[in-house]
Amino acid sequence: MSQSYDRGLVEDFGRWTEFSAGMWAWIFHKFTGWVLVGYLFTHIAVLSTAMAGPEVYTSTLQGLEALLVVRFLEVGLLAVAVFHILNGVRLLLVDLGIGLESQDRSFYASLILTGAIVVASVPTFLAGAL
């Protein structure tokens, strides 16, 4: 028999101080998902400059990469993507019935690992733009 968990009205963000780790994981996964799908459309639009010719593609990409703000946005994108991946793996494992008793800890581990990977990647992402 399936079991369900009463997480209250999660859409009521006014009671965010009462949110548990699982609800924060749910909110972060939705937020990062929205950002990633928005980026997917933007990314394809930018890459589509290839249809205007090789030079347009190369100059558009290199022109964007020359902007420091774009480099910082890429670090933000990395943070969003890494969290979505790690939390997504956690969700897949939960769906398979693995780690049901340590969902809070695996969420915190996702956050810490995301932070570590992003911090370690900053030099590579900012190289040549500072």
Partner 1 sequence: MSQRYSSFEPKGTRWLLQRLTAAFLVVVLAFHFMLLHFVNHAAEVTFAGTQMRMQTAGYFVTMVAFGLTATFHGVNGIYNALVNQGIDGTAKAAVKYGLVLAGLLLAVQIVRLSLVMAGISL
Q: Which residues bind partner 1 (CB under 8 A)?
A: 2-7, 10-11, 30, 33-34, 36-37, 40-41, 44, 47-48, 50-51, 54-55, 57-58, 61-62, 65-66, 74, 78, 81, 85, 88-89, 91-92, 95, 121, 124-125, 127-129
CB of 104 to partner 1, least distance (A): 18
The first and second tokens of residue 73, run together, are 């946005």
CB of 69 to partner 1, least distance (A): 14
Contacts of 44 (CB under 8 A, 6+ apart): none
- Axis crossing angle, helix 54-65 with helix 21-47, rounded to the nearest 10: 140
CB of 39 to partner 1, least distance (A): 9
Alpha-carbon span 87 to 81, nearest angstrom: 10
